[in-house]
Structure 1
C-alpha cells in the first residue's frame, strides 16, 4: 500500500490538490490589487509562456488540425471563462467558500462522461458525490440563506465551465500527453483573453507588489505546473480515484486560506468539510475484487513509459 500511494501518479495527484487549493487565497490577493481583467489575463499569459518555454525540451507536438475546435473549446471554457468567472466571484466570496462551490465541477464532468463517453457510474461514486456536495452546501449556507449571493452563482458558473473543460480534454488525452493538452488549452485561453490586454496594462502599472507576486505564483504553479502534473495523474488513474481525491481541494483551501489570509472558517463550515471528506472516502472505496481499468489507445508517455487513458474531472483554483 505504501508503494502504491508513493508512486509518481499519486504524488502528482497530491501535488495537484495542494497547488489548486493554494490558488484560491492567491486569487483573493491578486484580484484586490490587479482587478478582474488584469488578474485573468496575466495568469493565463504567464502560464502559457512557461508552458511554451518548456515545450521544445518536452517534445510537445503541433496539434492536428482536426483537433483545433476541441482545443478551442478547452481554452475558452476551462481557461478564459473559468478564470474570469472565478476571479469575478472571489471579489465578494471568501477563498475557502469559493473552493467549496467549485467542488461541484467533478459532478458535471462525471455526468458528461457517463452520457457521452460511456463512463460507468458506480453506486459508491454516486453516493459519495451526493455526500460531498451536501458538505459543500453546508459550508456555503453556514451563515444562512443570506450567505448565498449573486457572487456565489458566478462561482458556480465557473464550476460548470470547469466541468465542461475536463470532460472535453478526455478525448484529447487519448492522443496527446497531459503536458501537450495543457499547453494547447492555455495558449487558446490566452488568445481568447486578448481583449483584456488594455485593462491589464492600466492595472499592472499601479498594482502593489503582493498582487504581482500572487499572479506570478498563480501562473507558474497552480496553472502551469498544476496542469502538467494533473495531466500526468489523470492519464493514469481511474475516474473514481482522481475525482474523489480532488474533493480534498476545498478542505485544504480552507486551511491555506486561514494561514495566508487569516480567514477563520465557521464551525459549520468545518462540519461541511468533514462531510466532504466522508464523501471522498466513499468514492475511493474499491471493491475487493475490482481491478483498475486498463489503458486505452494512446501513445507511450515520454517520461514513464506507460500509456495514457481517459481520466476524471478535477477541482482547481
Structure 2
C-alpha cells in the first residue's frame, strides 16, 4: 500500500469528509426522534463540552475581549442558527438533497467578503457564483414546482448563515487557530441555544435510543472531532488539497444516505449538485502565484478555507 495514502494527515482529511458527510443522515435520525429544538441544543452542548475538555491539551487560549462581538456573531450564525435551520429543513428535505444545497454556502461567504471586506469580486467569483446558484435552482426544482417546498428555502437559509459564519470568522483567523475559533463559536452557539433547554429536557425523557445516539454522534464526531482532525490536516497539507477534499462531502453524503436511510436522489438533483460544486470550484480558482501565496500564509495554522462546508453539516 502506498505509504502516502495512509499518512496521518491524509487519513485525517478523509475522516473529516466522512464525518461531515455522515452528519446529514444522522440529522434525519435525530430529528425524527428528538424533534427540532432538542436535537439542535444537544448537538451544540455535546460538541461544546467535548471541545472545552480538550481545550487545555490543544493549547486553546482565552479570546480577547474586543473579539467577543465577532465570536458571538460566529456562534449565533454558524452554530445556533445553522443547526436550527438545517435540522428544520431536514424534517422534510432528504439528507442527500440537503448536502447538495448546503454546498453553496461558500458562494455567500465570498460575496459577503467582497462587499464588507473589500475582497476583489473577480470574473471567476462572479461566474462561479452564478453557476453555483443555477445548480442550486436545479436541485430545488428537480421534481418540478410541485416538489418545491418551504423546507428547501430553510436549508438554503442554513447555507446563508454558514456563509456568514465563514465571513465573520475570517478576521478572527488572523489571530487564532481554526480550532480556537471553532471552540469559541461552539460555546457561544450553545449559550444562544439555552432557551431550547426546557424543550430538550422534555424531549429526552421519551426519545428513542437511536435518536439520542444520533445526537451524541453529531456532537462528538462531526462537530468536535471533525474540527480537530480538520485543523490537523489543513495545518499539514497544501490549501488546494484541503479545499478539493471538501468537494467530496456532497457525494459521500449521498452515498451514506443511500446506505443508512435508503434515500435515492433524483437524477436532476445530482446534476444540479454537480453544477453547484463546479461553480464553487471556479470561485476558488487562483492564479499560480496567488495560490502559492495564500497557501504559504494559511498553512501554519489550522484555518478552515472559505470553501469549508461547516463543520458541520
TM-score > 0.5, shorter chain as reference: yes
Q: Secondary structure at the match of 1:60?
A: coil
String of CA shifts for 1:127-168, please: whole Å, max 9, x gaps. Answer: 344334333322221100122211111111111111101111
String of CA shifts for 1:79-133, please: whole Å, max 9, x gaps. Answer: 1111111111111111111112212211110111223334344434443443343
Which residues in structure 2 correspond to 1:57-72 (within 5 Å)? 57-72=57-72
1:192 equivalent in structure 2: 192
1:301 equivalent in structure 2: none
1:52 equivalent in structure 2: 52
Which residues in structure 2 correspond to 1:1-317 (within 5 Å)? 12-231=12-231, 245-279=245-279, 282-283=282-283, 287=287, 291-294=291-294, 306-307=300-301, 311-316=305-310, 317=313
Asked whether the equivalents of residues 108 and 160 of structure 1 are also in contact (C-alpha less than 8 Å), the reply is: yes
Distance 1:79 1:85 in 2: 10
RMSD: 3.1
TM normalised by structure 2 equals 0.86
Q: Secondary structure at the match of 2:59?
A: coil
Distance 1:274 1:104 in 2: 11
CA 1:297–1:17 in structure 2 vs 1: closer, same or farther (change >3 Å)?
closer
Distance 2:196 2:143 in 1: 35
* Aligned-pair CA distance for 1:212: 1.0
* Aligned-pair CA distance for 1:241: 6.8
Q: Which moved more, 1:280-289 or 1:150-159?
A: 280-289
* Aligned-pair CA distance for 1:287: 4.4
Q: Which moved more, 1:134-143 or 1:251-260?
A: 134-143
Distance 1:25 1:271 in 2: 20
String of CA shifts for 1:223-251, please: whole Å, max 9, x gaps. Answer: 11222344456678898876665343222
* Aligned-pair CA distance for 1:264: 0.8
Q: Which structure is higher in helix share? A: 2
Distance 2:110 2:243 in 1: 8
Asked whether the equivalents of residues 22 and 253 of structure 2 are also in contact (C-alpha less than 8 Å), the reply is: yes
CA 1:269–1:118 in structure 2 vs 1: closer, same or farther (change >3 Å)?
same
Q: Secondary structure at the match of 2:163?
A: helix
CA 1:3–1:307 in structure 2 vs 1: closer, same or farther (change >3 Å)?
farther
CA 1:218–1:61 in structure 2 vs 1: closer, same or farther (change >3 Å)?
same
* Aligned-pair CA distance for 1:11: 5.7
Distance 2:167 2:6 in 1: 27
Count how many residue pairs are aligned between Structure 1 and Structure 2.
310
Asked whether the equivalents of residues 239 and 312 of structure 1 are also in contact (C-alpha less than 8 Å), the reply is: no
CA 1:308–1:259 in structure 2 vs 1: closer, same or farther (change >3 Å)?
closer
Asked whether the equivalents of residues 244 and 284 of structure 1 are also in contact (C-alpha less than 8 Å), the reply is: no
